[in-house]
Amino acid sequence: MPGLIDAHVHVTGLQSGDYVREALTTPIGVLFVRGARVLERILDAGFTTIVDAGGVIGLHLRDAVAEGTIRGPRIVAAGYPVSQTFGHGDVHFLPIEYVDVRTSKLFQPFMPLICDGADECRKAARYALREGADFIKIFATGGVASQRDRPEYPQFTIEEIKAIVEEARRARRFVHAHAEGAEGIVNALRAGVTRIAHAIFIDDEGISLALEKNAVIIPTLSVVKLLVEHGEKAGVPDWALEKAREVYKIHVENIRRAYRAGVRIATGTDFFFEPPGTKFYGLNALELVLLVNEVGMTPAEALVAATKNAAYIAGLEGRVGELKPGYVADLIAVKGSPDQDPKTLLCEQNIGLVIKEGKIVKNLVGGPDKK
């Protein structure tokens, strides 16, 4: 089958849910090495492409993978995300001059570009592109893991989002929106964004617009489930835990409604940290399991979400995600029948063969090319 794609994840090297504190007390080199090891596990789990939806570590590890220095999936990276003041990307408990990458002397993997007004948004988008972004990540709403806002809060005006979309288009790139609240989802879609992450509170208007614009939603159910189940022990702040517990059932129900209406869905985990003793990364197929068990997709539909639809999110539609002449030779051989039960994909030993760009990068099957 085609290599799998995680269309929304963050490679950070972080081990704590209290990510700002950890980032400020951990040497940057340690974070990069942890990130490199994580990429090996993702690749061995059958994921030949990931979309790193914001973060400088994933941006630079992209280049290390591309040049063959480290093993890992192909990385399509946003680099520095774009946030308004008091946005989801703004670390609310720090002085503002410590938050924006252009003014801060601190380091944390999620450092954003803070901007307000269409002109500032254009400049922020251009800065992200200057730093090597494959696409622009924006925060169109508040979120679960930010301190003082909520998922329902719309962020950025339509005019601000349009300015960012235009700058991305001029550079032959696209915009990927964190959008959880109903109003922010609609604003992003109306402004020309067709890649919508999370969509917790998507309503009938958002569903209708997503269908009209042929947009794709990345629900990222996995991260909310893991926050609820493991967040307290991992040091996730109380404000994030409370919101995660509050929204999970609502999230599932609204994604189920969007799926039943015919909205295209892609897989993304939104993993952004990994507590010691756990291995979240490498369990990226959890999103397929949740789409089947919670949303009601068939296993075959979940596989399309993790391949063809996720390839669109990565900007690689027509190049990866299907086994067709002329496509990049990314493919995996699986022991079992993921088209009947996607839980098969959660066991790394079931992924017997991984071929990335025509080269064998994992082989448990045997033969002369066994590595």
Active site residues: 137, 270
CB contact set of 64 (below 8 Å; sequence gap of 6+): 36, 70, 72
Q: How far apart are CA 78 and CA 2, in angstroms?
A: 24
Q: How far apart are CA 55 and CA 49, in angstroms?
A: 16
Q: How far apart are CA 66 and CA 56, in angstroms?
A: 16
Burial-class residue 202 by CB neighbours within 10 Å (0-12, 13-18, 19+): buried
SS3 362: strand
- Give CA angle at 291 (133, 358), nearest 5°: 50
For 89-142, the DSSP string reads TS-TTS-HHHHSTTT-SS--TT--EE--SHHHHHHHHHHHHHTT-SSEEEE-B-
For 237-290, the DSSP string reads -HHHHHHHHHHHHHHHHHHHHHHHHT-EE----------TT---TT-TTHHHHH
SS3 11: coil
Q: How far apart are CA 151 and CA 130, in angstroms?
A: 30
H/E segment holding residue 186: helix 182-190
Q: How far apart are CA 219 and CA 202, in angstroms?
A: 10
Residues forming beta bridges with residue 217, ordered by sequence position = 196, 265
SS3 360: strand
Q: Are strands 74-77 and 47-52 parallel, antiparallel or unpaired?
A: parallel
Contact present, 81 and 138 (Cβ < 8 Å): yes
